[in-house]
Amino acid sequence: MKFNLDDLYQIESGASYKKIYRFKNKNIGKVVVNFSYNHNDYLSFLEVNNFLSNINISVPKIFYSDHDKSIIIMEDFGDNRYDKLINSIDPKEILIDAVNSLIEIQNTQKPIVNNIIKQYDFSSFKIEIAEFVDFYLPKNNISDDMAEEFFDIWSNEFKNLNFKWDSFVHKDFELSNLIYLPKRNNHLKCGIIDFQNAFIGFSGWDVFSLLENPRIYFDDKYNDELLEYFFNKTDQNIPIREFLNQYYFLNTARQTRIIGRWINLDNKNNYNYSKYLNVTIKRLKKSLYNLQNKKLSKLYDTLIVE
């Protein structure tokens, strides 16, 4: 498909390196996504889109792809992002569609591990939580000695949990990557984008990405209800207490990583991502409370500076 750059304008893509362009003619209904910064992300997006397109959910149709330039032209879902809507309506109105979409994904055949969609493991886990050590500790003048204790505690607690890394994980199933599509029916009103970082891991991962947003603190009175609903509608094969323990453990680790990520992003581009720290720390503390892990709670009582 040929197009002229003069026919396009660039739209927001957040902290992502990819560039997204919309056609000035709204009737075209397509966007151009440039993955030239990383060809592997381009390949991953195509692979994951192919997998998700066979499930009864709303993902963008791909009309054209250029392997040499790492460019994709796909369906434009519009601007009604969940993060723009969440605090202006009863959040359950849109969250239920997102959770039902996740249920559809989890109740479909399991994804196959390959060179593009990889399986999560402890090595991946350690790399992620290391962002907290690399950026948060130095910023707050916390002794390097705490880093060793940090990794020791997380490692030991990780080994105590019997994780099954066998489910599709979008990874970035956040409000800003979900688009409200009012003309569609039921859960298909939830348009899902930005899935190039997908992997195979814990089945509830995308639920806490959705409900425990690190940027926006919205009314979470439905969180327990939606989490239990997801558990009951999917084949977990473990008691709910064990599922919740794994859920809050991994969510605590995720909020930990994101705290470091905000500081790292500030260092790189001076955008003031640190403005989200208060929300992320609030999410972290609530997750620790739900986890009820004495060693981790004591560790963070020492580390978190407010």
* Ramachandran region, residue 143 (left: φ > 0; alpha: ψ -120 to 50; beta: rest): beta
| pLDDT per residue as tens digits for the range 76-106 | 999 999 999 999 999 999 999 999 999 999 9
Look at residues 240, 168, 247, 235 and name the one whose alpha carbon lies nearest to residue 211: 247
Q: What per-residue string of b and e applies to 236-251 under the rule 16 or more CB within 10 Å gives b?
A: beeeeeebbbbbbbbb
* Residue finishing a domain among 75, 100, 124: 75
Judge if 104 and 13 occupy the same domain: no
Sign (positive or negative) of CA dihedral 172, 174, 177, 179: positive
Give me the tens of pLDDT residue by residue for the chain, a chain 306 residues long.
666 777 889 987 776 789 999 998 888 999 999 999 999 999 999 999 999 999 999 999 999 999 999 999 999 999 999 999 999 999 999 999 999 999 999 999 788 888 889 999 999 999 999 999 999 999 999 988 899 999 999 999 999 999 999 999 999 999 999 999 999 999 999 999 999 999 999 999 999 999 999 999 988 899 999 999 999 999 999 999 999 999 999 999 999 999 999 999 998 876 789 999 999 999 999 999 999 999 999 999 999 977
Tell me what pLDDT residue 2 has. Answer: 66
CATH assignment of the domain containing 233: 3.90.1200.10
Element of type H or E holding 155: helix 145-159
* Residue finishing a domain among 75, 93, 124: 75
CATH assignment of the domain containing 39: 3.30.200.20
* Residue finishing a domain among 53, 75, 97: 75
Look at residues 197, 191, 288, 206 and name the one whose alpha carbon lies nearest to residue 248: 288
Tell me what pLDDT residue 80 has. Answer: 96
For 16, the domain range is 5-75
Tell me what pLDDT residue 111 has. Answer: 84
Judge if 141 and 29 occupy the same domain: no
CA 240 – CA 294 distance, rounded (Å) = 20
Judge if 157 and 261 occupy the same domain: yes
CB 299 within 8 Å of CB 256: no
Judge if 168 and 252 occupy the same domain: yes
Length reported for the chain: 306
CA 208 – CA 227 distance, rounded (Å) = 9
Tell me what pLDDT residue 97 has. Answer: 98
Judge if 16 and 105 occupy the same domain: no
Tell me what pLDDT residue 244 has. Answer: 98
| pLDDT per residue as tens digits for the range 235-252 | 999 999 999 999 999 999
Judge if 63 and 136 occupy the same domain: no
Look at residues 25, 4, 22, 3 and name the one whose alpha carbon lies nearest to residue 12: 22
Judge if 201 and 224 occupy the same domain: yes
| C-alpha torsion angle, residues 146, 292, 126, 119 (rounded to 10) | 180
Judge if 45 and 120 occupy the same domain: no
| pLDDT per residue as tens digits for the range 11-47 | 877 767 899 999 988 889 999 999 999 999 999 999 9
CA 250 – CA 185 distance, rounded (Å) = 32
Look at residues 59, 32, 39 and name the one whose alpha carbon lies nearest to residue 48: 59
CA 165 – CA 150 distance, rounded (Å) = 24
Judge if 195 and 296 occupy the same domain: yes
Judge if 164 and 46 occupy the same domain: no
Judge if 68 and 138 occupy the same domain: no
Judge if 193 and 158 occupy the same domain: yes
Instruction: Tell me how many domains the chain contains.
Output: 2
pTM for the model: 0.94
Tell me what pLDDT residue 219 has. Answer: 83
**DSSP-H helix ranges across 59-144:** 82-85, 92-106, 122-131, 137-139
